[in-house]
Amino acid sequence: MSEIEGPNALSEVSARTGFSRNTLRRDGELRTDESLTAALAHGEASVYLSAGGKWLVKTDGAHLAAGFTLAEAEALGADLGEAILLGFDAADQPALASIVSADGDEFGPRIAAMDLRGIATEGRFDPDTEGRLAQAAHLIGWHAKTKFCGVCGQPTRSAAAGYRRECTNCDNVVFPRTDPVTIMLVHDGEGRCVLGRQPRFPENLWSCLAGFVEPGETLEDAVRRETMEEAGIAVGPVTVVASQPWPFPGNLMIGCMALATSREIAFDTIEPRGVPLVFPRRGPGDAGGRACGGADAAQARGHRPSSDQGVRGRDSLKEATREGAASSAACRPRAVSPRRLSSRPAPRAVPACAGAARASP
């Protein structure tokens, strides 16, 4: 039994978020130029295939399967010479990722092309497979954006089985980039918290505030700055609760709890992004005091996370829809006047790793 599955599993919130359960041994420090060749020579290697931004899935068995054999990958047109070695499983079998150029509709009736967000929100695969696909998506996206050297402008080549890129002209070496994003449940310590929404969100879907960490900034200061910019609320103590890989395209979401030291929502009108509301964290019929937020945030009216929302964690995905109906009453907003929320462009992802909450009016 692994540490995250043992008696102390509940103490690690991050392990219960989507895309986090990747058990591959990556061996990043041990890779050489021969690592990819060795992995491709392994008879039991599996390959995850991306086509047009989606992932190919075999649908001809009792269960969906995301891994393909080397022969199957080559038959589908994968360029395995540019494959990325994700790592090795417990049996030392390599797992790789590769791209096929054709669209998903061209592979026949027994192979489907699925969106990664949909795969996770619908719970199509086990948590480990979701984590592998997230790692693969992150690395494939990074490779696509670093084909040329940022120093001299010449082409780069994949090295270390896809774990870095090297310039073909100068000595510049580039490693995969991960952008940190804070997502925070800002509360007043008396049962109320601030949620916001963007116009593109589905009806009745609200989120915690979130924003990218800027250069030279701590996580705590990023929470304070983003909250002030988006809602005009001052923040005091900040607690980091959890983190979540978010491969859209290459972020690490860092969930925080933040105590507000002011309550009046302020905004400007330059760039309206949504409507902030103050929600109670407990309802009159909730004797247990369920909190609207945190890793166990419920989905009001049984909504699954939207494509712009994070994935809660495979162990609780299905339970979320059942919890939603029971807890939506505890998440109803107080009678406050909606005010426009103006902020910088919002981050590409607003996951529920540590603070997002959904509510119905």
Q: Can you list the alpha helix ranges (DSSP code H) found in 41-86?
A: 70-75
Q: Which amino acid is at 35?
A: S
Q: pLDDT at position 207, please?
A: 87
Burial (CB count <10 Å: 0-12, 13-18, 19+), residue 75:
exposed
Burial (CB count <10 Å: 0-12, 13-18, 19+), residue 121:
buried
For residue 107, the tally of other CB atoms under 10 A from its CB is: 20
Of 94, 141, 93, give the one whose Cα is nearest residue 116: 141
d(Cα 242, Cα 339) in Å, to the nearest integer?
29
Q: pLDDT at position 130, please?
A: 96
Helix (H, G, I), strand (E, B) or coil at 95: strand
Burial (CB count <10 Å: 0-12, 13-18, 19+), residue 217:
middle
d(Cα 113, Cα 58) in Å, to the nearest integer?
9
pTM for this entry:
0.75
The residue with tokens 């369920």 is 290
For the chain, the domains span 3-174, 179-342
Q: Which amino acid is at 130?
A: E
Cβ 317 vs Cβ 359: under 8 Å: no
d(Cα 241, Cα 353) in Å, to the nearest integer?
9
Transcribe 230-250 into DSSP letters: HH---EEEEEEEEEEEETTTT
Q: pLDDT at position 223, please?
A: 98
Q: What pLDDT, in 10s, does the model give residues 297-320?
A: 322 222 233 334 343 333 332 232
What are phi and psi for residue 177, nearest 5 degrees?
-100, 135
CATH (one of 3.40.228.10, 3.20.10.10, 3.90.79.20, 3.40.50.300) for 3-174? 3.90.79.20
Q: pLDDT at position 361, please?
A: 32
Q: What residue ranges of the chain have pLDDT lower than 50?
A: 1, 3-4, 9-10, 271-272, 275, 281-361
d(Cα 183, Cα 166) in Å, to the nearest integer?
34
Helix (H, G, I), strand (E, B) or coil at 19: coil
- If you classify domain 179-342 with CATH, what class do you get? alpha beta
Q: pLDDT at position 273, please?
A: 55
Cβ 130 vs Cβ 120: under 8 Å: yes
Domains 3-174 and 179-342 share a fold: yes
Q: pLDDT at position 202, please?
A: 85
Q: What residues contact residue 217 under an 8 Å CB cut-off, 6+ apart? A: 225
